[in-house]
Structure 1
């Protein structure tokens, strides 16, 4: 595409309004950046080591005016750009739950849902949240995953009622040891929400094998990540809210481990960015929300399926979002999303950026996308001999030829960038190198001071507060258990030995009131045998609940402690102490 066409198509807009994708000259030249606000989203295909951070991620973090949320593999983008973004007026958040030894801000996706006033809406949002980040690669297991999501929703509602709305609490409620059917029945008795009670009761009535499958798939699809105490601490509350990112400029760096470990953290990454997109989609920007939000999803093909990205890319612009997806190859996207959804992502992106593709499928995709040209082919032939057809014959024809053949696509220079914009001719440009660029290098070198990371002392205090909260939660659980047992015990009435009952009855009919009678009563109260495999429960019994006499013999009964070994329901549902 010629420069005049680029200018006419508004590809030379001021950096900061849209994504900066390349430049039209050497990296250290004064050539203009290619930047167009007409295309709010972009898809970059760049294999490992191709320089996507140098060319795309860092330049945009240094130039973009507005809020930003970036998946920062290895934390390099935070170190390279956070001080400049702070100098621009951004609040800086570093969410790094697995960056051992370094403090992290905290993020709890359930805080947004807990704040909703309508309980039915809270239930719906919990289910949507679960469906966004809980994934199984086996389509045949999706039915079982639905059962696991029911368990997640019920535990989420219960956790909110208990004032402990965290994913760690949902994990603990769902995976509590012992008999799961009995445990979920206990939850059903204690939860206030009718919907959650119904789900717990249905789960409790499910056969053990199916229930085990529900729980196992729930864990393997993502919830088991919260067995890690570091993940639990990092998600127990929120230091920031995505609802505020359009109101005040803020930058959040999700620091993730390197490529070989990022899959272990993928459920939390999916949850983090899905919750961001959901928050932006609650309403279009109001007059007090002037700031656009740039979203950078690096290593997109390593994160698993994120349906909300494919669903929202065509509408996100109206909600102030600018989305950049970075993947290594086209086949990696096809494997996760299928060809149709991948093509929808490409179409919604508007701008596609290719850096030195390596795999054959991506090279073929790029060659086909660049298109073909026609050229005239002239052929000459010579006829030897005499006659009207002797001599030289010349013929011409036109042939189609790839503008960028597949083999040439694989041999692109490392500084060459191929850009495909919807409705535009392909663009061949040069990649940006922020450390050599005349505009970006001074910005980068001007960064001074400490990195805007959380204060380690504050992090230690927050960890201590979190430990106290968890300890209080455990005490509350024990208190609830004690209260439940006490309520059961308050309904116990004794079944007295037959001989003792007859003596009491004789006294009621005017029998002897001597001390020997009292001794006889005491002798007849024997400690019952403990049945096998039954838990022994000690309880003080007050017989005046049954015998309405104030006589000395009855007073002796009142002073007597009977050890109850077994509790069984009688005909009217009351608890009865049965002595064997």
Structure 2
């Protein structure tokens, strides 16, 4: 077996030490202490020259010398044997010195991700399990932070079960100090409450997309706004094609997957028609595909043919005409694929409301600092996963269109994908993980377990690609079998020693011992499950693993000071924006009520839909509705009313301020 540098140093040091001991012992015994019967000192050289050993002193000296030489030989043999029997791995956790040497202890001002705090590595006795050393509270508070330069480990995978402290130890500290724009999926809204005011102080424009927060309101996000702004028709189609690929997904390779290709073409055509109509929203797309209830007595076939006939876009005419001529059962299958993929969420009036405008834009996220908090409750992630997938798909597509030149002057973007396994199938994340780093994105994928990714449709190859794309893996309190097995395999092995004993049948006091080596995992699955709650496991690419202490932001002196320094109100959407939302919702409700009145009148008066249509060849035209003009007029009135209300509020505020000043005078 080839010896490494460490083993060679051990052998050389052992030989030198042994020879030194032999020389000293020989000098003391043979020249300083042992004397012949006549009182003269006994010389080792004389003994070697005259090996007759005639005197008793010579015999004693020779015995001592040979004994020392024998001990030297045994010692060197043991050293060589103990080294050459290391036939297995030499994996170990990084020491503090190794962490410093490898650049894991860097100042927080470097701007990279923060992973944990320095802790003493576990004790590694030969042949025995590791002994994890817990830091004392004083040591934990004074310990340095484990971080790296901004480009060292840009992509990170964080695995930890629920209530394991992922937000407290990783998400909150990094969101407080991220030097650039920030986009975070904020489950329960804790990250917003902990960090949003600091983001304002850092100069960020803060947005809070919270569809189901009826108390504080929500900023708006329109998935089609960026694509609608593209003027080149071929590029617009290409972007819609990407959007459809990442938005419309099915699980597995069943019957639904067979209709996915046609459903995507239909979806793209509907988006093109919505843009053509001047209403580039998924609410309009949903209405074009499934109807909005305003066409009383009109069949789906006639409605699709009418859309095809009235559009100036050749793709729209082709797709809607073909779709209208399909067998009803096949058409229903396409509709089911669209609905199951997530478009059905736009039948929800609240989703329609929060995706009507585009307060949040990702096309300038690297040139204009902003923080976007996507706030949802755990129970709402699944119902809202299509909207969230669209946001991150749009974000990634926008980032990939920016320059990859480090000297471009564009800033960094920190992306925190919490509860990633609950968002559904998002292949764009796995496919673009490595590329994003070159465009200034620093992405953290957070999941409760590795098997959780399989449940949403990722194949083993895709999961492996996602994990490989993350240069840093963090594990907190791993407890499921599959994850602990993966960690154990990735940590590597060390060499242990095993002693076997044998006894003579007639004489049990006669025992022989055979010492052999065996392969031991650096940490077994059972040891991983027993890790203290204060510990976390770091596995940086190209380096030995690190056993670190978790950060507790509210107890850590550095982060507690930053957290408590936040001042001012939380950056919720403005009252004027919330007032505008309420007025828009009232208009939408009025439209629904009028639609119901029209239906009732049609039913009572024997309304004949055929009299309201004019035939033109194989397709039919519906009469042009004035709904769009009415809607635009009402929206203008709403905005004017909101401006007047805002002006009135400002006037009242100024009057109140003047009154307070007069009273104080």
If the TM-score is normalised by the length of the shorter chain, which range does it land in? 0.7 to 0.9
**Does 1:346 find its partner at 2:461?**
no
Distance 1:536 1:342, change over 3 A: closer
Distance 1:244 1:568, change over 3 A: closer
Shift in Å, 1:382: 3.4
* Other-structure match for 1:64: 178
**Does 1:255 find its partner at 2:397?**
no
Q: Name the Cα RMSD after superposition.
A: 2.7
Aligned residues: 485
After superposition, give the CA deviation of every residue in 1:67-122 in whole Å (9 maximum; x if it has no partner).
Answer: 11000011111011000111111111101111222211111121110111111221
- Choose from 291, 294, 302 the match for 2:411: 291
* Other-structure match for 1:405: 524
After superposition, give the CA deviation of every residue in 1:292-312 in whole Å (9 maximum; x if it has no partner).
Answer: 000000001111110000000
State how 1:217-232 maps to structure 2 within 5 Å: 217-232=337-352
Other structure's SS at 2:371 match: strand
**Does 1:444 find its partner at 2:563?**
yes
Other structure's SS at 2:566 match: coil
Shift in Å, 1:168: 0.7
* Other-structure match for 2:397: 278
* Other-structure match for 2:161: 47
Distance 1:390 1:59, change over 3 A: closer
After superposition, give the CA deviation of every residue in 1:148-197 in whole Å (9 maximum; x if it has no partner).
Answer: 22221111111101100001110111111542221111011111111111
Distance 1:121 1:470 in 2: 37
Q: Which runs of 5+ in 2 are unaligned?
A: 1-93, 120-134, 595-605, 621-665
Checking the alignment, whether the CA contact within 8 Å between 1:246 and 1:289 is kept in structure 2 is: no
Distance 1:381 1:75, change over 3 A: same
Distance 1:423 1:569, change over 3 A: closer
Distance 1:31 1:136, change over 3 A: same
Write 1 or 2 for the structure with the bigger share of helix. 2
With 125-134 and 281-290 compared, the bigger mean Cα shift is at 281-290
Relative to the length of structure 2, the TM-score reads 0.69
* Other-structure match for 2:41: none
Distance 2:343 2:386 in 1: 8
State how 1:161-310 maps to structure 2 within 5 Å: 161-176=276-291, 178-258=298-378, 260-285=379-404, 289-310=409-430
- Choose from 338, 355, 362 the match for 2:483: 362
* Other-structure match for 2:82: none
* Other-structure match for 1:35: 147
State how 1:94-133 maps to structure 2 within 5 Å: 94-133=208-247
After superposition, give the CA deviation of every residue in 1:108-138 in whole Å (9 maximum; x if it has no partner).
Answer: 1211101111112212212221221222224
Distance 1:474 1:321, change over 3 A: farther
**Does 1:85 find its partner at 2:199?**
yes
Distance 1:52 1:251 in 2: 20
Distance 1:375 1:468, change over 3 A: same
Distance 1:121 1:467 in 2: 37
After superposition, give the CA deviation of every residue in 1:46-68 in whole Å (9 maximum; x if it has no partner).
Answer: 00010100010001011111111
Shift in Å, 1:474: 13
Shift in Å, 1:466: 7.2
Distance 1:214 1:568 in 2: 27
Q: Which runs of 5+ in 1 are unaligned?
A: 476-531, 539-565, 574-580
Other structure's SS at 2:583 match: helix
Distance 1:390 1:414, change over 3 A: closer
Shift in Å, 1:316: 0.7
Relative to the length of structure 1, the TM-score reads 0.79
Distance 1:390 1:461 in 2: 94
Distance 1:567 1:221, change over 3 A: closer
